[in-house]
Amino acid sequence: MPQFSDDIFLGGAYLPGTDTANPSPMNTGVGPLGRVYVWDVVPLTLQVAGLAASANPGSGASFTLAAGTGVTARTRSDGTTIEYVLDCPRCVTVKATGANTATYTISGYDLYGQAMSETIAAPSTSTVATTKAFKTVVSVTNANATAGTNGLEVGFNDKLGIPLRVTDAVYLASVKWDATLADDAGTFVAADTTSPATTTTDDVRGCFTPSSAANGTKRLVALIALPALAVGPSATRIGAAGVTQA
């Protein structure tokens, strides 16, 4: 009888598919899979107004979202909600061209179709970004008692959501970017393990920002070393995909 090492998990643990319109339930871990996951993505150029053009929503009001460059609009499986699908999980931005005191709550879904939201600080003659990576966006709502001012735009930046939980940079065994052999000196943010997650905690799986701007042709290939908590006989769903989204 052949012997299989623990480096290949042939059990029934799994993550849901990446069709966020029809999410599968999350189970115990991820598999069948070896101990190394290849993250391969070619992100499009960031879009400052890729989700909403200049607007000033009032208290409790939402931006009118639209499918800009790199965004696709579709109806969710509930038949009532329109979601705006990004090319890959990315952090959402709100830019104010002038003074603004209103904060905003971004709501949508992650790569695995799990609902998530984040409230960001008020952008004022600046751009403020979520620390969570959204795969789809359903709404961006003014969370303050005052109206937004000075022309606000909603888009996304080059901070990319990692597909599996990475709690330490050492688990990124290799990170290659833009046809360069040397590892990329980008910016890594570890998975936020706060449980329960909230609308102000960071991404539950972690994020990576390449060292140069994405343009739709530069390829990111990262080898993620997976711990036993993510894949193997003792794997858990949290170990693989992070704590439940908020």
Of 239, 132, 243, 238, give the one whose Cα is nearest residue 197.
Answer: 243
Within-domain flag for 226: no
Within-domain flag for 87: yes
Task: Answer whether residue 9 shows pLDDT above 70.
Answer: no
| pLDDT, averaged across the chain | 89
**Residue 238 phi/psi, 5° resolution?**
-65, -40
Within-domain flag for 59: yes
Fill in the amino acid letter for 14.
Y
- Count how many Cα atoms sit within 13 Å of the Cα of residue 10 in the half-sphere of its side chain: 4
pTM score, two decimals? 0.90
Within-domain flag for 22: no
Within-domain flag for 31: no
2-11, 28-37, 93-102, 128-137: least confident range: 2-11
Within-domain flag for 93: yes
Q: Which domain holds residue 113?
A: 47-159
CA distance 83 to 77: 10
Within-domain flag for 219: no
pLDDT, tens only, 188-242: 999 999 999 999 999 999 999 999 999 999 999 999 999 988 887 778 889 999 9
Within-domain flag for 134: yes
Number of domains in the chain: 1
